[in-house]
């Protein structure tokens, strides 16, 4: 009886321990508090007391995808205008305030979001909230600000187009891979579109998208939670809600059919090619094995394509991987070779490796390596307070349940070789997109 009792007791402890362990493992490795203000602003707080720092990230759900034809570059222009002053803050003062206290800051426009982030000593949290709330509430948009920003951006476009040899071909390739306007036009816009943008158009874009109900605010670091909530309410609570932003309709891409094109690059000195496949988007069950397949093919010096192309000396440059677009995803490979013969060989090698992966023959060692590399990259996504705040804001924007972020990593790590073979066969079909870049 005693033996049975001990066994039963042991079993209970084991089950409880196992359950508790599973719960712990699934939880993200840092605390998260979430709430939404009456005006719709979603707020995430995450404490980290290692150093007296705080990172504030504000992400607006707007990017190049929200631009209409003929109005490209509007989202990027607005990102830049956000540093040109608001009702209570002068031109470039946002930068000065942050730099003077030793802080760092930056911003980025992406296809479906625009991010502003800064890290400062934690006693300056109120200052950052004051700065961010002022430009959300009352950005200074006038003809001279716009003109000054346009000049800078046009200069940037010209510089990039004349110095980056494969820029034009990569933009062209995107148009083939994602053949709808919203997903394939350049984030920095077209020079002629930027030039024609009016003050009214910029103002409308700002009022429509730069409002609290279209944003996520993430604050990570050495914070007092109660006080931080008070500050967020004080600075952002009275900003009026904007009009409801209508979600964009889902994109209908044409049926998969092979595209094979040639482009003559006026400034490239070496031939190259792009190869691409339309694949399942993020959050779909197929995305997880596709991501691990990307690591097997392309991540690190021991990846299959690196071994086949760079190590063998038949290619000079190899880039690629999964590119996530809003509701879409593509798998891209970009290879630069020293001459046409090597380029032909590189193309064959890439296709051979893709075919080989379709068999699902992956050694345990190779599979473990790909997952470990994925894991370390995943961890690096929240290595600093700013990284963590961006990671949380992006997940919130993508409507991923933050409390289940721990499970996300597990989903990648539990992928099987069978699943890899299955998705490779499903998406890496002859309906591929190929762009051959020839030198003039």
For tokens 């510089």, name the residue: 159
Smallest gap from Cβ 369 to other proteins, in A, equals: 5
Q: Is 104 in the site for other proteins (CB under 8 A)?
A: yes
**Under the phi-then-psi rule, with left for phi > 0, alpha for psi from -120 to 50, and beta for the rest, what region is 30?**
beta
Q: Is 123 in the site for other proteins (CB under 8 A)?
A: yes
Q: Is 262 in the site for other proteins (CB under 8 A)?
A: no
**Cβ-based neighbour number of residue 54 at 10 Å:** 26
Q: Is 15 in the site for other proteins (CB under 8 A)?
A: no
Distance from C-alpha of 92 to C-alpha of 25, rounded to nearest angstrom: 44
Distance from C-alpha of 95 to C-alpha of 97, rounded to nearest angstrom: 6
Contacts of 170 (CB under 8 A, 6+ apart): 274, 334
Q: Is 226 in the site for other proteins (CB under 8 A)?
A: no
- Closest to other proteins by CB, 122 vs 184, is 122
Smallest gap from Cβ 77 to other proteins, in A, equals: 19
Q: Using an 8 Å Cβ cutoff, are 113 and 66 in contact?
A: no
Q: Is 244 in the site for other proteins (CB under 8 A)?
A: no
**Cβ-based neighbour number of residue 152 at 10 Å:** 11
DSSP state letter for 15: H
Q: Which of 2, 301, 363, 440 binds other proteins (CB under 8 A)?
A: 301
Q: Is 52 in the site for other proteins (CB under 8 A)?
A: yes
| Partners of residue 259 on adjacent β-strands | 433
Q: Which of 20, 101, 253, 401 binds other proteins (CB under 8 A)?
A: 101
Stretch that binds other proteins, among 174-182, 247-255, 372-380, 413-421 (CB under 8 A): 372-380
Q: Which of 6, 147, 238, 414 binds other proteins (CB under 8 A)?
A: 238
Q: Using an 8 Å Cβ cutoff, are 80 and 153 in contact?
A: yes
Q: Is 87 in the site for other proteins (CB under 8 A)?
A: yes
Q: Using an 8 Å Cβ cutoff, are 220 and 389 in contact?
A: yes
Stretch that binds other proteins, among 62-70, 91-99, 176-184, 255-263 (CB under 8 A): 91-99
Strand ranges, E, within 179-316? 215-221, 259-265, 272-279
Q: Which of 46, 66, 124, 337 binds other proteins (CB under 8 A)?
A: 124
Stretch that binds other proteins, among 48-56, 64-72, 283-291, 334-342 (CB under 8 A): 48-56
Q: Is 359 in the site for other proteins (CB under 8 A)?
A: no
Q: Using an 8 Å Cβ cutoff, are 347 and 327 in contact?
A: no
Q: Is 144 in the site for other proteins (CB under 8 A)?
A: no
Look at residue 250 and give its three-state secondary structure.
coil
List contacts with other proteins (CB under 8 A): 29-30, 48, 50-53, 87-88, 92, 95-97, 99-104, 119-127, 130, 133-134, 137, 222, 234-235, 238, 300-302, 365, 368-369, 372-373, 375-376, 379, 382-385
């Amino acid at each position: 009886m005693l033996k049975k009792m001990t066994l039963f007791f042991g079993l209970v402890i084991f089950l409880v321990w196992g359950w508790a362990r599973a719960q712990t493992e699934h939880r993200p490795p840092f605390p998260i508090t979430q709430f939404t203000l009456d005006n719709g602003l979603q707020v995430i707080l995450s404490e980290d007391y290692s150093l007296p720092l705080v990172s504030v990230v504000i992400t607006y759900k707007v990017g190049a995808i929200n631009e209409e034809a003929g109005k490209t570059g509007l989202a990027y222009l607005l990102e830049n205008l956000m540093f040109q002053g608001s009702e209570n803050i002068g031109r470039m003062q946002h930068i000065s305030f942050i730099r003077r206290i030793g802080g760092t800051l930056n911003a980025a426009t992406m296809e479906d979001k625009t991010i502003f982030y800064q890290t400062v000593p934690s006693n300056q949290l109120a200052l950052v909230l004051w700065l961010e709330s002022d430009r959300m509430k009352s950005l200074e948009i006038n003809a001279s600000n716009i003109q000054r920003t346009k000049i800078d951006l046009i200069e940037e476009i010209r510089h990039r187009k004349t110095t980056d040899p494969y820029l034009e071909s990569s933009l062209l390739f995107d148009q083939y891979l994602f053949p709808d306007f919203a997903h394939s036009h350049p984030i920095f816009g077209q020079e002629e579109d930027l030039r024609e943008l009016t003050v009214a158009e910029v103002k409308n874009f700002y009022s429509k998208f730069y409002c609290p109900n279209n944003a996520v605010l993430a604050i990570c670091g050495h914070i007092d939670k109660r006080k931080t909530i008070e500050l967020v309410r004080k600075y952002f609570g009275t900003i009026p809600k904007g009009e409801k932003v209508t979600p964009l309709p889902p994109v209908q891409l044409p049926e998969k059919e092979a595209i094979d094109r040639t482009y003559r690059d006026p400034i490239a000195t070496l031939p190259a090619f792009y190869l691409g496949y339309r694949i399942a988007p993020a959050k779909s069950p197929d995305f997880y094995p596709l991501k691990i397949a990307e690591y097997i093919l392309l991540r690190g010096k021991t990846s299959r394509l690196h071994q086949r192309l760079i190590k063998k000396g038949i290619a000079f440059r190899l880039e690629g991987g999964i590119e996530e677009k809003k509701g879409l995803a593509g798998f891209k490979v970009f290879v630069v070779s020293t001459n046409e013969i090597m380029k032909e060989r590189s193309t064959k090698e890439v296709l051979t490796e893709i075919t080989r992966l379709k068999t699902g023959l992956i050694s345990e060692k190779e599979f473990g390596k790909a997952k470990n590399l994925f894991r370390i990259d995943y961890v690096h996504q929240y290595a600093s307070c700013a990284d963590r705040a961006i990671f949380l804001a992006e997940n919130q924007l993508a409507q991923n349940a933050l409390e289940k972020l721990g499970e996300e990593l597990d989903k990648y790590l539990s992928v099987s070789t069978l699943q890899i073979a299955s998705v490779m066969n499903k998406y890496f079909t002859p309906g591929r997109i190929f762009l051959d870049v020839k030198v003039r």
